[in-house]
């Protein structure tokens, strides 16, 4: 499984990006949400988290600027009748926070406003994801600072160990507020003591 790709952006459009990794160009489908965050990064080094979608006739890579967006994408494509293209259309129409709120509050009209989503699809998304979406706490990051990087690394480690993202986020925020200069290793150790 390809979990992320890091390299130089060779080409970027609202629907895809080509990342050059040591002379190999990887074509990744992206949402407008990701595009808005990387559109001015041509010829710059970037890291996108990815999802490899395998079908009988193709292997397609999808790239996301943030892990939260990938989590929402994976939840969306787990719903019967919602394919990868529809998932990307939803992520291009609404940001992850808006999707989370629409599903949590059972806002059918917001989901129906997305091209390709009718009443039945909107209802199915809400029914299938209402409980699962509560486990995904989305944090709006308007900038990347050292603590966000530390938090993301610690969160990834805690999720790998089987802890929920929602609970981990609360614990990590509390520790970082009290000790902003803490190392990632200490942050993980302290978090484990707080579960």
Least confident of 11-20, 90-99, 166-175: 166-175
Domains of the chain: 4-64 (2.40.50.140), 67-133 (1.10.150.20), 146-193 (1.10.8)
pLDDT of the residue at 143: 39
What tokens were used for 63? 């790239």
CA distances from 87 to 42, 48, 72 (A): 25, 17, 9
How do residues 46-78 score in pLDDT, each as one tens digit? Answer: 999 999 999 889 899 999 999 999 999 999 999
State pTM to two decimals.
Answer: 0.69
Question: 163 Cβ partners below 8 Å, 6+ apart?
Answer: 195
How do residues 18-52 score in pLDDT, each as one tens digit? Answer: 999 999 999 999 999 999 899 888 899 999 999 99
pLDDT of the residue at 48: 95
Question: 185 Cβ partners below 8 Å, 6+ apart?
Answer: none
């Amino acid at each position: 499984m390809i979990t992320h790709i890091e390299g130089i952006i060779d080409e970027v459009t609202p629907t895809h990006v080509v990342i050059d990794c040591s002379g190999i160009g990887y074509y990744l489908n992206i949402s407008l949400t990701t595009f808005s965050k990387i559109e001015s990064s041509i010829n710059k080094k970037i890291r996108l988290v990815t999802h490899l979608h395998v079908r009988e006739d193709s292997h397609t890579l999808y790239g996301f600027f943030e892990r939260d967006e990938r989590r929402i994408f994976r939840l969306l494509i787990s719903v019967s009748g919602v394919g990868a293209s529809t998932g990307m259309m939803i992520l291009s129409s609404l940001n992850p926070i808006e999707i989370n709120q629409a599903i949590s509050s059972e806002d059918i009209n917001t989901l129906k406003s997305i091209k390709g989503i009718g009443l039945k699809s909107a209802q199915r998304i809400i029914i299938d994801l209402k409980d699962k979406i509560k486990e995904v706490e989305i944090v709006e990051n308007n900038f990347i600072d050292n603590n966000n990087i530390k938090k993301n690394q610690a969160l990834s480690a805690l999720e790998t160990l089987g802890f929920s993202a929602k609970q981990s986020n609360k614990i990590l925020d509390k520790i970082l507020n009290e000790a902003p200069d803490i190392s990632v290793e200490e942050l993980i150790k302290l978090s484990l003591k707080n579960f």
